[in-house]
Amino acid sequence: MRGWDEFLTERDRAVFGGAGYGKRAGFGERPVVLVIDVNYNFCGDKPEPILESIKRWHNSCGEEAWVAIEKIKQLVDAAHERRIPVIYSTGCDPRPDRFDAGRWADKNSRRGEDLERRGIGNEIVPPIAPKQRDIVIRKGKPSVFFGTLLASYLTDLRADSIVACGTTTSGCVRATVIDGFSYNYRMSLVEECTFDRGQASHSINLFDMSQKYSDIVSLEETLAYMQQLPDDLFTEQMPGLAEPVEQDVEHTLSEAHSA
């Protein structure tokens, strides 16, 4: 029983099954872990019901975010242990004149509140804070590939696959998964480490990606896969991976979780 089963009709099951979709592609041989937009804007500053959290953080995914964060930490810790590159994405702080809002401003009546969170909202939450060895990408649109150096980093690392997680399933995660698929990377999306503000959109997008663009994998099988990888896959490209794990990158909102 998968989370999306309650939303599928018998017709849909028959169509996708009969058309041959949903084949398992499998993990790659040189993966990177990509953590998408797990920041205060999308998580709020503490675990609380989503209808409470969105009163202050209008993009928050509420309690589901903080449940996933605990799982993401396990994934990131395992990647650090196995010397697998970890890449984070987060948003760009908006310009005071809102010139860079683009079409975001057209689709959300509370977009202006993001100006109040400049320097704070796009900070990655402390439980999974990037280490000095990790890569952090700032982006202005849904896909982590769009207008960034992600593709060039992956080329330099000679990566063949991406183990993705983060938020939102129906937005930035989906956009990134489709772009990664389009660049011919093997895409795996860790289900327990991925979240959305909408329950239906989360489940249906997981289903749709599983059928066409990505394997939807469990945290357990992903950790087992990482354990069998050589621990020197990327040390030629990133010598710092061979060093002990460093401290977290300094945070500008170190007490935000108790605000």
Name, in order, each residue with C-beta under 8 angstroms of 253's C-beta and a sequence gap of 6 or more: 40, 45, 120, 123, 259
Question: Of 139, 124, 150, nearest to 91 (Cα)?
Answer: 139
CATH number of 28-241: 3.40.50.850
Tens digit of pLDDT per residue, the chain (259 long)?
788 999 999 999 999 999 999 999 999 999 999 999 999 999 999 999 999 999 999 999 999 999 999 999 999 999 999 999 999 999 988 777 767 767 777 777 777 777 777 778 999 999 999 999 999 999 999 999 999 999 999 999 999 999 999 999 999 999 999 999 999 999 999 999 999 999 999 999 999 999 999 999 999 999 999 999 999 999 998 888 888 776 665 444 333 332 2
Q: What is the pTM of this model?
A: 0.90
What residue spans define the domains of the chain? Answer: 28-241
Residue 88, beta-bridge partner list: 35, 136
